[in-house]
Chains A and B, each alone.
Chain A
Amino acid sequence: MKDKQFWSVAGIIFVLFMIYWVAGHPFFVAERAVMFWAIMIVSGILIYSTRMAKRGEEIFLRSIPGLKAVEEAVGRSTEMGKPVLYVPGIMDMDQVETVAGVVVLGHVAKMTARYETSLNVPVSRAIVMKAARESCRESYLIEGRPDLFHDDMVHYLTDDQFAYAAGVNGIMIREEPAACLYMGKFYAESLLLAETGNSIGAIQIAGTASPSQIPFFVTACDYTLIGEEFFAASAYLSQEPELIGGVKGQDYLKILAISVILLGTLFNYFHELNLISWDLLGFLTVQ
């Protein structure tokens, strides 16, 4: 879509919505209007950044050591003649982190195909198994090595959290992979996995958005992608402009969030001093 078309469509949608709003906005939950506009603004910024990147604007993406180390880890496995173990978390595809984990797996699979290294992906959900298998298959095809791909490189273990941890730990102990990558949603099994990986001397890279598991991964792994870095992994590894544009958009949003926090603090302070009557925090609170 060209710029003119894009802005025309956006303008028409906006005008139509304003007409709908003025007409009494039937069926719309008016108490959630602030949240609705917040989503609109955030989406707008992300789409704008993506379009700017697509048009060829130079975007600086800071170096993320954990992601740079992914290729290093696969290279190390190749040199040692040992497999790469990839764990995409223990949750299903309804979690964004699992989807992000499968996306990163696609990039890792490209590297293992390029270096002719064995890849082992034990999963804890059958749907994740299918998605991860398709992702790996495509990666091996893109790299021109469909002969190296086999369905069993992505295999199902169990849905149960600790049984899964026991199964993956068993694989680690028996196969001694040179690199262990944990990318997805994790709970208490994170440390069980990471410590076992540490004990076999594997290079370990973790990425998760589970705040309570980040300290465990930081302690036991060589590199950890913390929160948003994990979601930026796909953009970083693919270097596709539209994805990098999204990361840039996130940075704009962070500036926006910081501004709202500062303004909110200031307004709330004045409100408590009865200098202004408008309760900004009450206005922003999601109903």
Chain B
Amino acid sequence: MFMKRQLPIAIAATIGFLTLFGWFVEEPSIKSFVDDDATQWFDILASFAMFLGALNLLKMQAMKVIRQSRGWQYAALAIAGFSFSFIAGFVMLGAYNVEVTEFGGSTGVATVLANEINQDLQSTRNILSAVPAGDAYIIDSPYFTEGGAESVVEQIVAAGGTAEIHPAEWGAHIATRGSLFNWMFRFIFTPLSATMFALLAFFVASASYRAFKIRNFEATLLLISGIIIMLGRVPIGGHISAWFIMYIVVLSLVAGVNTWLKNRTYTLVALVVGLLGVTIAGFITGWPVDQPSIFFLPVLQDWIYNNPNVAGARAIMIGIGLGIFASSIRYILGIEKSYIGE
């Protein structure tokens, strides 16, 4: 019980207090612990835990394949992908660079290289002639297998040149352009991630449609704010006259008056007074597009974005900050023990 209950709480409390109050102490060893060591400890633990995660993933997917559960084909694909990544990362270096140290004026070496770098003979000669004297020429794309690289070296040697194989270092090979792992990352993983991210565009559209549907006062307010923000942030928003917006505001107010008072006479009076008021003001001022500025969409969207929006966001942020602090104190003091299952 001590190992499962008191000890975890004691560790959480000690490390919690140390990191919290370490910020106020001018002592290099504590500072170094708080800034570097503590996070490194976490990284080390996370690295070990990674094995558990990987084993769990394999177990779960293998069970699906064995039991032929619904969608087991995806599980098989996941296992295949995992195995491929594992081989590309840990087993197959897949990045053997060939460095041509001596090519002289030999046409044979240029012919071999032309085949390897997919250039014509003349272009290859130009490339080789541009290499400073005494320097080696490295073939751009590394070879997946050592055998492939050896075969090229043999051809170069047979053509009268000399070449060496320089395998990429283990670990660094995953970032070496042209290695198997890097190829997988660039041409399989990145496009798949980008595809998932791109789906957001469609989901945002469907979510916006639901959010902007006029159901109640709040949804209407959201719709109007959304339209103002969207129009105000694109070039066309700057061409919409503030007077046009004023007419829309007058018509909306008249609609409100009609809903409230339910009297045709009052509605007509409000409509005439409103339209006349805006029109007369327009003639007096000369209908400037951006005046009165509060009805000019770029200014209006700016105001909505920087005032009501920021006020609401900050209120939420203060609540979140207090919530995070209160939760942290509860964990540090051992008041909240649910995270260890109590």
Contacts and interface: CB of A to CB of B under 8 A. Distances in A.
Is the pairing of A and B real? yes
B282 interface: no
Interface residues of A, number: 77
Interface string A148-188: 00001001111111110110001000110000000000001
Contact of A226 (B26, B316, B342): B316
Interface stretch (B168-176, B244-252, B332-340): B332-340
B133 interface: no
Q: In terms of DSSP, what is the predominant structure of the interface of chain B? A: helix
A156 B207 contact: no
For A27, A126, A170, A230, the residue with the greatest tally of chain B CB atoms inside 10 Å of its CB is: A126
A116 interface: no
Nearest to A45: B326
A129 B53 contact: yes
A88 to B, nearest CB: 11
B328 interface: yes
Contact of A28 (B26, B74, B331, B340): B26
Contact of B313 (A106, A192, A211, A253): A211
Kindly state the interface size class of chain B when it binds its partner.
Answer: 35 or more
Contacts of B326: 46, 231, 246-247, 249-250, 253
B323 A231 contact: yes
Q: In terms of DSSP, what is the predominant structure of the interface of chain A? A: helix
Given A160-B193, A227-B320, A246 B330 contact: yes
Contacts of A102: 338-339
B24 A234 contact: no
A192 B20 contact: no
A226 B315 CA distance: 11
A138 B341 contact: yes
B328 to A, nearest CB: 6
Contact of B323 (A42, A126, A158, A232): A232
A58 interface: no
A243 B336 contact: yes
Interface stretch (A69-77, A78-86, A212-220): A212-220
A36 interface: yes
Contact of A166 (B27, B196, B335): B196
A55 interface: no
A254 B318 contact: yes
Contact of A170 (B54, B71, B313): B71
B208 A219 contact: yes
Contacts of B46: 92, 125-127
Contact of B339 (A99, A228, A242): A99
A28 B30 CA distance: 12
B322 A126 contact: no
A96 B317 contact: no
Nearest to A139: B341
Interface in B239-296: none
Contacts of A126: 46, 49-54, 56
A216 B338 CA distance: 28
A271 interface: no
A135 interface: yes
A257 B325 CA distance: 14
A25 B320 CA distance: 33
Interface string B27-59: 100000000000100100110011111101101
Contact of A192 (B45, B203, B333): B203
B80 interface: no
A191 B200 contact: yes
A47 interface: yes
A202 interface: no
Contact of A220 (B63, B207, B338): B207
B316 to A, nearest CB: 5
11 contacts: A29-B26, A106-B341, A159-B53, A170-B74, A174-B71, A188-B197, A188-B200, A209-B323, A231-B320, A231-B326, A246-B326
Given A125-B46, A156-B60, 17 more contacts: A36-B24, A42-B329, A50-B335, A103-B339, A127-B46, A129-B52, A129-B53, A134-B340, A135-B339, A135-B341, A137-B341, A156-B56, A162-B192, A219-B207, A226-B319, A228-B323, A231-B320
6 nearest CB pairs, A to B: A138-B341, A126-B53, A231-B323, A126-B49, A162-B196, A228-B319
